[in-house]
Amino acid sequence: MFNKLSKRGFCTAISSRPWLFVGLGNPGEKFRGTRHNVGFEMIDVFAESVGIPMNRIHCKAVFGEGFVGDIPVFLAKPQTYMNLSGESAGPLAAYYKLPLNRVLVFHDDMNLPCGVLRLRHNGGNDSHNGLKSVIYHFRGNREFARFRIGIGRPPGQMDPKAFLLQKFNNTAQERIDTALQEGVGALKLLLSHGLSETARRFNHEQKYKHIRLQTMPT
């Protein structure tokens, strides 16, 4: 990264304040396309859209780095398995000396309808084991932003753990694909206009999507 900073201008990069985007998920082919891995998917779709190669292993994560405009961006997919995600996210934030208000964590959320997104400035763990680990390795500090990706709730009496590790059906996958593209737009807006302004605009748009989708089956 430091070679890249020197090419683009170290002073410019410092004044532009880097962001660390961390997607939560489980490594390995058998987990690809499962509900619990939408955080990984968001990182992959964003990386492709801005031309950042995910071609390194750094702090136990598949890692990429680059610029979006003049903003340095670090992208990470921890390979520790979901419940230990903080073992990667904590050292990454420390390595780059980033304040937690420059860290954004992408995660699945059963409290949102499938395909609905939300940006939050901070919050609790929402009974999400990946978030629990991240908070623990941030020494209990919860002041990092979250990008919530709705996956809906399990049908009937289905075990939530089994639901999380299932792949999406065709209808749900279409919603997720659309949502990830909406997410790319939101992330580019965040990098150019900041978190507060982006959250205000984006969450307002997603509120109406939530109303439309919450009663529709997947």
Query: What angle (nearest 5°) sits at the alpha carbon of residue 213, between those of residues 210 and 218?
Result: 135
In sequence order, what are the residues at sequence separation of 6 or more whose Cβ sits closer than 8 angstroms to the Cβ of residue 24?
Answer: 39, 40, 78, 82, 85, 105, 106, 107, 108, 130, 131, 134
Provide φ and ψ at 97, rounded to 5°.
Answer: 55, 45
* Structure-block tokens of residue 5: 């900073």
Give me the catalytic one of 36, 107, 128, 137. Answer: 36
Residue 36 falls in the annotated catalytic set: yes
d(Cα 211, Cα 209) in Å, to the nearest integer? 5
d(Cα 13, Cα 79) in Å, to the nearest integer? 28
Known catalytic residues are 36
